[in-house]
Structure 1
Amino acid sequence: MSTKSSSVTFSVLDLASIVEGSTPAVSLRNTLDLAQHAEKWGYHRFWLAEHHNMPGIASSATSVVIGHVAAGTSTIRVGSGGIMLLNHAPLVIAEQFGTLESLFPGRIDLGLGRAPGSDQAASRVLRRGLAAGGEDFPELLSELRSYFNPEAGTSNNIVRAIPGEGLNVPIWLLGSSGFSAQLAAQLGLPFAFASHFAPDYLMPALELYRSNFRPSAALDKPHVMVGIGITAADTEPVAKWLATSQQQAFLNMIRGRFGQLPPPVDSMDGLWSPHEEAALRRQFGYAVVGDKTQVRDRLQAVIEQTGADELIIASQIYDHQARLRSYEIIAEVRQELLAN
């Protein structure tokens, strides 16, 4: 085992999935239960993502859910993976995360993305139009940072974020292409790449980030987090069976149907066309499905390939107990890497 493998921290990305036949209330209770287990198992962060108009995801009010999770845990860092800044006034996000940091000091992360996190209809309602296409993200980011640190930003000192001003809320840039990688490098911010849904751009984005990185007050050297989907179980056949829930969900998405997370099926044969199957296999190029040994070997290879400082794990599994077991197995893998 390499020294690099043993130094990588593991974190959780929870989509607060609403499974078929269930409700958002159950999903949010399960989210807190997962966070409490993740804290016990030694995970470093627990992040939630902003999505809108999606019947299968309960974390649309992301800041509220972060507060729910932070209040029910005590040591694990809690944050956004991410807040879609184009949907919000920067002042509101500064106030929300300033409030969270005031309530849970030293435990809050603010991960930011420039995607809509929704379809066009929801984006139009959120933004009162579709004029912004992401080009003004750097300007919005600068305004947001100025509310936390007025002296270093572009604030006119007339409008202040209270709570927020003077607080140290770590800001991460999230991305699935080169745009945020380059911006994070220029600003000296940590960068998280969503390889669980954009695997082809992972290595180019990391190279762009590292080669252009400029040290800053926030960070003296590049810091990379790699998002990866993992379905782990005690046996490979069970893991493959559990993974069919996420495969069905993605198949429905590329067909333009958004619903709740479906239960596993014995086989995907007959559910997808050869073209769709190929698309899914490309999409899940970095996904890990298997038992503990398979997960350990694959994660070690990913760490060595990417040089990641952190892995953030997304496990969309229909049964909550099976999802807990998946994250427990991954935590056991982490301990094996540390021991070696």
Structure 2
Amino acid sequence: MKLGLSLGYSGAHLDLPVDLVQRAEALGYDSVWTAEAYGSDAVTPLAFLAAHTKRIRLGTGIMQLAARSPANAAMSAATVDALAGGGRFIAGLGVSGPQIVEGWYGEPWGRPYYRLKDYVAIMRKIFRREAPVEHAGREISLPYRGAGATGLGKPLKSILHMNPDIPIWLGTGNEATVKLTAEIADGWMALGFVPGTLPEFLPWLEEGFRRAEKATGRRKTRADFTIQASVQVEVTEDVRAGLARLKPEVALYVGGMGAREKNFHKDMMIRRGFAEAAERIQELYLAGRKEEAVAAVPDEWIDQKSLVGPPARIRAGYRAWAESGADLLTVRSRQPAAIEVMAEAAGLTREDAA
């Protein structure tokens, strides 16, 4: 299993840990991943990192669909890929949630399933430059012919001769969108994936592969597809304290990231057997009792989706992830020690490692 490094969101000030990324590259990490919410964007930091690294792949985890048109997403991906020397960019996409889509970007939530499908199809047409781009989709069409159109829109082909095979991965988690991911994407940023859950998702993936073969006439299998899992890593001698430090993020996502009636993170916690805790966290968080919401996060939930403790405990816990069926595990940590111990656990070796 390969390792990636996830840089997460920026806070009030942009803090891009270039030294940490360079160390991960030296240790043999496969990729580095950036994200966006409603502050810094996911693409620009990768352009900066491309200039300060040599081989590590550069992935967006994720570019939000509402943040840019599919044409702009394709242009951004192709530009950074070209600047990085080609073959290094991974276009990771996701829909975000209605609060951000409508509240921040001013776009309609619409039908995310069909928006994903149209978005990926348009990006692939742009990458391949086989003809001026036309697409008659259920959510997105090119040229635009909707309300307010002049009728002068013209199909165009990219001026830049870009890498035609830039991989597109999707961040999805429910049955319909996981099937769609297996059908149209090159990889899956698996939301809610922890060791032991692949059997739950595998029938959905296999159905997506069957749909891809039916649509294209070309056989698609698990070998043609990358599953990316993600784990928070915290090196500490005090396991309980380490788990506690990861609880505020869970309380934010389960309690406040999304509406009361539509919160994927809460739904996933319920699916994993923590229904009572999930309801309690949301209730407390939305009531403004955030500290109590944090305290309501069970240690067991954090431990299930994280690697926390002394190096020996992390190495032991890593084995379950290595056997989980994922192909790539992204490490979410700013600790140099975490980057090192995970490289050791995965048996990474590089001649240029210090």
TM-score, normalised to structure 2, is: 0.71
Match of 2:126, SS state, is helix
Does 1:100 pair with 2:80?
A: yes
State the shift of 1:141 in Å: 1.5
1:24 aligns with 2:13: yes
How many pairs were matched up? 294
SS of the aligned residue for 1:209 comes to: helix
Q: Which residue of 1 aligns with 2:261?
A: none
Once the two structures are superposed, the pairs formed by residues 89-128 of structure 1 within 5 Å of their partners are 89-104=69-84, 105-116=86-97, 120=99, 123-128=102-107
Q: In the alignment, is the contact (CA less than 8 A) between 1:185 and 1:222 conserved in 2? A: no
How far 1:190 sits from its partner (Å)?
A: 2.1
Q: Output aligned runs, 1:128-139, within 5 Å.
A: 128-139=107-118
Percent of pairs identical after alignment? 21
Distance in structure 2 (CA, Å) of the matches to 1:40 and 1:166: 26
Within 5 A, what are the aligned runs for 1:138-287? Answer: 138-151=117-130, 155=134, 158-163=155-160, 165=162, 167-187=164-184, 189-195=186-192, 203-210=199-206, 212-213=208-209, 214=212, 221-233=223-235, 235-237=236-238, 240-256=240-256, 271-272=291-292, 276-278=296-298, 281-282=300-301, 285-287=304-306
For residue 164 of structure 1, report the CA deviation from its aligned partner: 5.8
The CA deviation at 1:243 is 4.0
Q: Which moved more, 1:88-97 or 1:9-18?
A: 9-18
Aligned-pair CA distance for 1:136: 2.2
Question: Judging changes above 3 Å, is the alpha-carbon distance between structure 1 residues 142 and 331 closer, same or farther for their aligned structure 2 residues?
Answer: same
- Residue 151 of structure 1 aligns to a residue in which SS? coil
**Conservation of the 8 A alpha-carbon contact between 2:66 and 2:105:** no
Query: Is the partner of 1:75 in helix, strand or coil?
Result: coil
| 1:273 positional shift | 6.0
Normalising by structure 1, what TM-score? 0.73
**Taking structure 1 as reference, are residues 246 and 328 closer, same or farther at Cα in structure 2, changes over 3 Å only?**
same
Tell me the amino acid that sits aligned with residue 286 of structure 1: K
Q: Which runs of 5+ in 2 are unaligned?
A: 136-153, 259-289
1:12 aligns with 2:5: yes
Matched-pair contact (CA < 8 Å) for 2:31–2:59:
yes
Inter-partner Cα distance in structure 2 for 1:61 and 1:73: 20
The one-letter code sitting in structure 2 at the alignment partner of 1:310 is L
Q: How many angstroms does 1:127 deviate by? A: 3.9
Per-residue deviation, residues 99-132 of structure 1 (Å, max 9, x unmatched): 111111121111111234xx61563341444445
**Which residue of structure 1 aligns with residue 339 of structure 2?**
327
